[in-house]
Each structure stands twice: as C-alpha cells, then as structure tokens.
Amino acid sequence: MLGAALLDQEWHQLAPGHPVVGVDEVEGFERSALARHGVASDLVPPRYRSGYFAHAFTNGYDAGYYSYLWSEVLDADLVD
C-alpha cells in the first residue's frame, strides 16, 4: 500500500509543463519513482500500477485510501 501511495504522489507532483509521460514510458516512470523512495525490488514487482488508480478518484475513495496508511501507523504505535 505504501508503494501505491508513493507512486500516486509522484504523479501528482509532476510540475506544470513537465513533458507528458507516454504510455510506453509509464513502467519506467513507476520503476524510477519507487526506486527514489527505496521501495523498488526486482524480486517483488509493484502490486499496484498507475492504471489501477482510476477508481480512487471517481467516487470520493481517495481520502479513505490514505487513511489506511495512517491506520497502520497508529496500530504500530499502539503495539510498540
């Protein structure tokens, strides 16, 4: 889930005027974005790809999407 959130943020942080990422360049964009955050692994490919986000932004699901991560953080704090 963390990889998906980081990838989503990478797309949203592209500066205005950034060259359009073509369909044939998406996989490279994903790979370099995840590598920048230290969550890329050749042995474990990304579970969520860029094309999988469409459902998150069409029905208000986007806020709940990130609450899952915070729930994990709070849970980890309570267990420690």
Say which residues have a Cβ less than 8 Å from residue 4's Cβ, sequence separation at least 6: 46, 47, 48, 52, 53
pLDDT score recorded for residue 72:
84
**Identity at 8, one-letter amino acid code:** D
Residue 15 has what pLDDT?
92
From CA 62, how far away is CA 39, in angstroms rounded?
Answer: 22
* pLDDT on residue 30: 92
Check residue 22 and give its pLDDT. Answer: 93
The candidate with the shortest Cα–Cα distance to 7, out of 65, 61, 58, is: 65
Per-residue pLDDT at 34: 92
Q: What is the pLDDT of residue 62?
A: 62
- DSSP-assigned letter for residue 73: H
10-residue mean pLDDT series, the chain (80 residues): 81 90 92 91 82 66 72 84
pLDDT the model gives residue 21: 92
